Amino acid sequence: MNRLLGFAMMWAALYGSITFGAGQSVEDRLMSAVAALPAWWYIGFRIRREIRGIREDARAARRRREAKKLMGRDELRTAVTRLVSRSRRPVQCGVAGHPPRHVCLAVSPEVSLADLVEGISDWYGSPHNLAMGGCVDASADGTTGLALLEPFGPHVVDMRAWAYGSWWIGAGTVSDDEGVRRVALVAERPAPVVDGLPADAS
């Protein structure tokens, strides 16, 4: 109904514009311009509406793409295993502003921290705490899992850490503009030092 009304307004405005525009006087031409205003208003309204619809569709598509990337407990464990089983080579996180040498995994909001920790612990043993309830271990360094805290800075609320070969595995929660959310990541771990030399030194 609104679309039909808009078309009727455009037709009346354009017809009036043509009628008055055919005159030779300044008054007729002015009336022609005034008569065309509703048509131009409706055209502008329709263009803005279409642009808004395109933007909303793009946002919805982006949300669908992001939702597909979110992983449940078993999917996260599989992704972690795939990462830590690869040969040691530099990794890069795709999150803007994050430092290098780690990879963040997209955690579904339906996965609780307890489920996440339990799922990883089933394969990699008991973790140690780097942060709990907003209290971060001030003594954390490269040998205890600092690389798991660095990507989130002061936003870390909880962080559990597992050491596995040349990798750290982390699971926790962070608080930022999006609220409190679960995070999981894999970060590079320095080789253990034995007799003053890295354990993997030849």
What backbone torsions phi and psi does residue 93 show, to the nearest 5 degrees?
Answer: -80, 145
State the angle between helix axes of 73-84 and 113-124 in degrees (0 to 180), rounded to the nearest 10: 40
Closest Cα to residue 95, out of 188, 183, 7?
Answer: 183
In the beta sheet, which residues pair with residue 168?
A: 163, 187
Task: Give the pLDDT of residue 19.
Answer: 56
C-alpha 167 chain-centroid distance: 24
Task: Give the pLDDT of residue 61.
Answer: 58
Q: Using an 8 Å Cβ cutoff, are 84 and 188 in contact?
A: no
Tokens of 32: 């022609």
Task: Give the pLDDT of residue 75.
Answer: 87
Tens-level pLDDT at each residue, the chain (202 residues):
555 555 555 555 555 555 545 555 656 566 666 666 666 676 777 778 778 877 776 665 555 555 456 788 888 888 899 889 877 677 888 888 898 899 999 888 889 999 999 999 999 999 999 999 999 999 999 899 999 999 999 999 999 999 998 999 999 999 988 789 999 999 999 876 554 444 443 3
Task: Give the pLDDT of residue 35.
Answer: 61
